């Protein structure tokens, strides 16, 4: 089939029945990045699934089948039965410890190095963006690489916590300072997002002129609101996601493809264009 010609003034979308994105779509996406002076990327579970980290809201991920998430992964559930929480999170933690950044993470780091991505806001609790080399990453839902003491509030790297947990099924991690219980520094159900971090992400969304959604179906608030915030301020919106998202109809361009395929293709076109113009 013939691909429609990209016109920046007239958004078009790739629809479900089309087999795979054509080169014109990748070209159009790279054009959006090249034309933007300030780009924010919002990433979700879809960018880490190619690294073997399950989307823990997905059926079949195995994480919710025998437990009630609102119970086990809530702050109340954690406080009332931390051992149960750690038993539940152990398989996910093992996958996160073993995971490596995939081509999508690396492409975003490359785009940042090219000066085309300025901030990454992520809903993910892994640290694959940092491992890939991205410098400015806001972890809206916290990250498993940090732990916090519930008694004295001391924050510390969580490497030892996970090593202990993965070796000893019954171990519970305790604070080296006060022996209080340690909690991975991730936002559990019933906990508010850190207000300063959320404000920083909102400010980035309000002042960007391109928002890229990468691997999020935009179902979880308040992160899901960021693209619409940007859009209302006149930013363009590029959505890269395998499935549909709740903001597709508001986007300037939607590419439904595995991110480990689409992002490297787009980054390569950007690098090529900058190389030619320099």
Mapping DSSP to helix (H, G, I), strand (E, B) and coil, where does residue 20 land?
A: coil
* Binding of Zn ion by 154 (CB under 5 A): yes
In the list 180, 189, 209, 244, the residue contacting Zn ion (rule: CB under 5 A) is 180
Active site residue 141: yes
The least CB distance from residue 150 to Zn ion, in Å, is 8
The least CB distance from residue 163 to Zn ion, in Å, is 19
Q: Which is nearer to Zn ion, 152 or 246 (CB)?
A: 152
- Binding segment for Zn ion (CB under 5 A), chosen from 118-126, 154-162, 213-221, 225-233, is 154-162
Q: Which is nearer to Zn ion, 25 or 149 (CB)?
A: 149
Determine the Cα–Cα distance for residues 241 and 219; give it in Å rounded to an integer: 13
Give the torsion through C-alpha atoms of 189, 194, 198, 199, to 10 deg.
150
Token duo for residue 221: 């608030």
Q: Are 257 and 101 in contact (CB under 8 A)?
A: no
The least CB distance from residue 151 to Zn ion, in Å, is 5
Distances (CA, A) of 63 to 28, 56, 77, 90, 273: 38, 6, 15, 10, 43
* Binding of Zn ion by 175 (CB under 5 A): yes
Q: Which is nearer to Zn ion, 182 or 211 (CB)?
A: 182
In the list 18, 68, 169, 177, the residue contacting Zn ion (rule: CB under 5 A) is 177
The least CB distance from residue 161 to Zn ion, in Å, is 13
Contact partners, residue 144, CB within 8 Å, separation at least 6 = 93, 96, 125, 126, 127, 158, 162, 184, 185, 186
Q: Which is nearer to Zn ion, 179 or 246 (CB)?
A: 179
Catalytic residues: 141
């Amino acid at each position: 089939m013939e691909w429609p010609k990209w016109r920046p003034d007239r958004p078009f979308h790739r629809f479900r029945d089309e087999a795979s994105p054509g080169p014109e779509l990748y070209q159009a996406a790279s054009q959006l990045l090249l034309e933007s002076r300030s780009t924010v990327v919002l990433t979700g579970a879809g960018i880490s699934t190619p690294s073997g980290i399950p989307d823990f809201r997905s059926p079949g991920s195995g994480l919710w089948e025998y437990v009630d998430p609102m119970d086990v992964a809530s702050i109340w559930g954690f406080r009332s039965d931390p051992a149960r929480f750690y038993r539940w999170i152990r398989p996910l933690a093992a996958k996160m410890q073993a995971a490596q950044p995939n081509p999508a993470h690396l492409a975003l780091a490359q785009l940042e190095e090219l000066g085309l991505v300025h901030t990454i806001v992520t809903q993910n609790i892994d640290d694959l963006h940092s491992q890939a080399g991205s410098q400015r990453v806001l972890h809206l839902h916290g990250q498993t690489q940090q732990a916090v003491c519930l008694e004295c509030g001391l924050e510390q790297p969580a490497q030892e916590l996970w090593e202990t947990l993965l070796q000893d099924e019954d171990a519970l991690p305790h604070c080296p300072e006060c022996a209080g219980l340690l909690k991975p520094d991730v936002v559990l159900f019933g906990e508010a997002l850190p207000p300063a971090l959320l404000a920083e992400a909102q400010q980035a969304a309000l002042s960007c002129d391109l928002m890229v959604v990468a691997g999020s179906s935009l179902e979880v608030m308040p992160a899901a609101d960021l693209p619409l915030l940007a859009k209302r301020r006149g930013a363009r919106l590029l959505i890269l996601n395998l499935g549909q998202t709740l903001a597709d109809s508001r986007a300037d361009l939607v590419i439904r493809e595995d991110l480990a395929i689409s992002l490297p293709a787009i980054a390569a076109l950007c690098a090529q264009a900058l190389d030619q113009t320099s």
